[in-house]
């Protein structure tokens, strides 16, 4: 069984989409995978309650309690290992609105099994405020990208993308909502494809 550990910081809507897909499509049978745990760096993250309601184990690691980014990432790695105890294959770690930049050491330790979703059509608009930046640049399309995480922010190999049109006079908030709806379809699909790859 391949364990999946999801990292969140907020409402967890992408996490919830992954949990729904895993349950409805019976990933434990069809993919030999299950969501083993959800970790948040914020105790007030709404996604924690959603995970518990789905019967998934949760943990909170408040980054403010650690003296350095490295110390936090070391604790995060230990918590992932606890959720993955006894598994033959290391856990697939899914960033779903996890608002922390991971250290190169953490990324290296989880290389090849660390995925993220970003609300732009990478390589365009890495970082924050992607929707307003797309509007300001006059883009006719926007979207989201699932990619492997590397030490360079938002620059890992692309695993899948979803595209939406930028409508005339559209606000960043409205565009963000339409992109998010596509993220909820894209992320589970990209995870499934990743798990089906030889050697995954």
Burial track 3-34 (b if 16+ CB lie within 10 A, e otherwise): bbbbbbbbebbbbbbbbebbeeeebeeebebb
- pLDDT tens for residues 130-165? 999 999 999 999 999 999 999 998 999 999 999 999
Mean pLDDT for all residues in the chain: 97
Same fold, 1-110 and 116-200: yes
With a pLDDT cut of 70, the percent of the chain lying above it is 100
Q: Residue 34: what pLDDT?
A: 97
Fold (CATH) for 116-200: Rossmann fold (3.40.50)
- Please say if 118 is a catalytic residue: yes
Domain covering 1-110: architecture? 3-Layer(aba) Sandwich (3.40)
- What pLDDT band is residue 200 in, cutting at 50, 70 and 90? confident
- Per-domain boundaries in the chain: 1-110, 116-200
Q: Residue 198: what pLDDT?
A: 86
Q: Which of 138, 112, 103, 105 is nearest to 124 (CA)?
A: 138
Q: What is the largest CA-CA distance in the chain?
A: 53
Coil/strand/helix, residue 124:
coil
Residue 169 has pLDDT above 80, yes or no: yes
**Residue 100 near residue 71, CB atoms below 8 Å:** no
User: CA-based angle 93:98:100, to the nearest 5?
Assistant: 105
- What pLDDT band is residue 171 in, cutting at 50, 70 and 90? very high
Q: Residue 30: what pLDDT?
A: 96
- pLDDT tens for residues 20-50? 999 999 999 999 999 999 999 999 999 999 9
Q: Which of 118, 131, 147, 184 is catalytic?
A: 118
**Residue 8 near residue 39, CB atoms below 8 Å:** yes
CA dist 141 and 132 (Å) reads: 12
End-to-end alpha carbon distance in the chain: 12
Q: How far is CA 115 from CA 68, 93, 169, 179, in A?
A: 23, 6, 33, 18
Residue 166 has pLDDT above 90, yes or no: yes
């Amino acid at each position: 069984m391949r364990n999946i550990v999801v990292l969140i910081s907020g409402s967890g809507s992408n996490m919830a989409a992954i949990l729904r897909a895993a349950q409805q499509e019976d990933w434990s049978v069809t993919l030999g995978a299950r969501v083993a745990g959800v970790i948040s760096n914020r105790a007030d993250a709404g996604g924690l309650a959603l995970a518990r309601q789905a019967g998934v184990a949760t943990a909170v690691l408040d980054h403010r309690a650690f003296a350095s980014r490295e110390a936090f990432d070391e604790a995060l790695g230990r918590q992932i290992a606890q959720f993955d105890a006894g598994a033959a294959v290391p856990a697939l770690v899914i960033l779903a609105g996890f608002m922390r930049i991971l250290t190169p050491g953490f990324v290296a330790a989880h290389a090849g099994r660390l995925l993220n979703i970003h609300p732009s059509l990478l390589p365009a608009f890495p970082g924050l405020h992607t929707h307003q930046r797309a509007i300001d640049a006059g883009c006719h399309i926007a979207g989201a990208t699932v990619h492997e995480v590397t030490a360079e922010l938002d620059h890992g190999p692309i695993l899948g993308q979803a595209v939406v049109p930028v409508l005339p006079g559209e606000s960043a908030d409205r565009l963000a909502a339409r992109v998010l709806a596509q993220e909820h379809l894209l992320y589970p699909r990209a995870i499934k494809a990743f798990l089906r790859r030889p050697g995954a």
